[in-house]
Amino acid sequence: MNPIAELAGKTLVFGACVRPLVFSASRFSLDVAAADLFADWDTSQKCNAIRVAKYPAEFQHVVEKVRPCTAIYSGGLENYPNIIENIESMTNLAGNPARVLRSLMDPFAMSDYLRRCGFTVPALERTNPLSPADTSQKSIDPSLLATPSPRKASLFGKRWLRKKFRSCGGLDIQFWPNPNRLSDAAVAPENQPDHYFQEYWPGESISAMFVATAGPHRDNPAVFLGATRQLIGEADFCSSGFQYTGSIVCGLTPEEQRRATEMANRLVDQYHLKGIFNLDLVRTDSDLVFIEINPRIPSSAEVLERGYQFNALTLQIQSCRIAEDLQPLEWKQQSNQPPMIYGKAIQYAPESMTATQDFCQLVKSTMDDDGFASYADIPFPKTRIDSGQPVFTVFAKGKNEQEVRSLMRKKAALGLQCLGASVS
């Protein structure tokens, strides 16, 4: 039977990697179909899954052929509002529509709005902030650019990141200039239409997740679902730079939660957001600094689901349907921190490798005592995995973050050993 035909009439989850949404559906016996870049072994065990070769354009073809009753997109597709708009014309979309996504793609307008609302936001620049045409960088010792220091801060005032307008998962983000290519600051064109520059704020990377129904007439439309500490560029899992590596559930102080929720409420009112979304923040000693918004179910949702015992997929569908009817969403505000701390980490390949049947057997034999898998995003046997590519995801729970990190490292090492990789 045509694999696409088998998906017809179901709720379709689609995106770069939809395994977390498929697992969310499976825990509550929701019948879904999936389309993503991998169609991994464990995703295919849970539902009918299609692997797309041409990202993201091929999703339009899948939806056109399948005609699902509802479609839900995951990370990355918020950067392609034209494709989302085409899909909206074919099926019911449980997520923010293309018109909202387009408005969110201007970080300068959003930054100005939040600043006017009294929130702390990084400075942004459209042009190279270290261009010799605008500064006196030529007279400054290049070695000062390589590492952060009080002296450098006093000379430049700010440290910069170069970010791509269309990116997710921490990809296409680097310090500006790159410490290994200090000449970039002087020779790069001032105007880089695909990129912009954001002031770097040191601190803890935090993600706060909310659910909302659209409508500016409602008071406090965003409901706090929980917060996670984001794992970024973790060498323990062969990640680097600003690459997203995982999430661990964490608590916010009452003032931090109030501040984050106020920020979310303002954004819902301004942009008419609906459904689940998250705010990427930096926690400093005195404030939460806004970095960016992800207007869809984030990768961190599945550890919050485990910690607070709710289902992100059903909540997404419910909240989006209510938004269309302009009804208030009834949802209990989450407590600040669950009794057990849950975490996930993505293991990247330390070297080129090939997935084995032994690894699939390991996955089958390792389940946490609460029924959750210890491993996910499992490639089919004989799948070739290049160095630096994601191999699998590990999960752990514990009484504190240190215990969770330790367990995740042990599970990751065991998984790599099953795949024949050298583990230090």
Please state whether the predicted TM-score (pTM) of the whole model is above 0.85: yes
Q: What is the rounded average pLDDT of the residues 102-117?
A: 96
Sign of the torsion angle spanned by Cα atoms 89, 68, 54, 197? positive
Q: pLDDT (tens digit, 9 = 90+) per residue, 184-205?
A: 555 454 556 788 999 999 999 9
**Quick one: pLDDT at residue 322?**
65
**Could you give the domains of the chain?**
8-93 (3.40.50.720), 123-199 (no CATH), 202-338 (3.30.470.20), 341-424 (3.90.1170)
Bridge partners, residue 319, by sequence: none
CA triple 19-304-389, angle to 5 deg: 40
pLDDT band at 136 (very low <50, low <70, confident <90, very high): very low
**Quick one: pLDDT at residue 139?**
38
**Quick one: pLDDT at residue 228?**
97
SS3 84: helix
What DSSP state is assigned to residue 338? -
DSSP E strand boundaries for 156-254: 160-164, 173-176, 195-199, 204-212, 222-232, 244-250
Q: What is the rounded average pLDDT of the residues 389-400?
A: 95
What DSSP state is assigned to residue 119? -
pLDDT band at 281 (very low <50, low <70, confident <90, very high): very high
Residue 306 contacts residue 397 (beta carbons within 8 Å): yes
Distance of CA 392 to the CA centre of its chain: 16
**Of residues 328 and 31, which shows the higher confidence score?**
31
Which of these ranges, 19-23, 168-172, 244-248, 267-271, has the smallest mean pLDDT?
Answer: 168-172
Distance of CA 47 to the CA centre of its chain: 23
Place of tokens 């339009």: 60
Give CA–CA dist 232/240, Å, rounded: 8
**Of residues 123 and 368, which shows the higher confidence score?**
123
Between the ranges 3-12, 344-353, 361-370, where is the mean pLDDT highest? 344-353
Q: What is the rounded average pLDDT of the residues 371-384?
A: 88
Q: pLDDT (tens digit, 9 = 90+) per residue, 323-339?
A: 555 454 555 555 566 77
Give CA–CA dist 416/358, Å, rounded: 11
Q: pLDDT (tens digit, 9 = 90+) per residue, 154-168?
A: 335 578 898 988 877
What DSSP state is assigned to residue 373? B
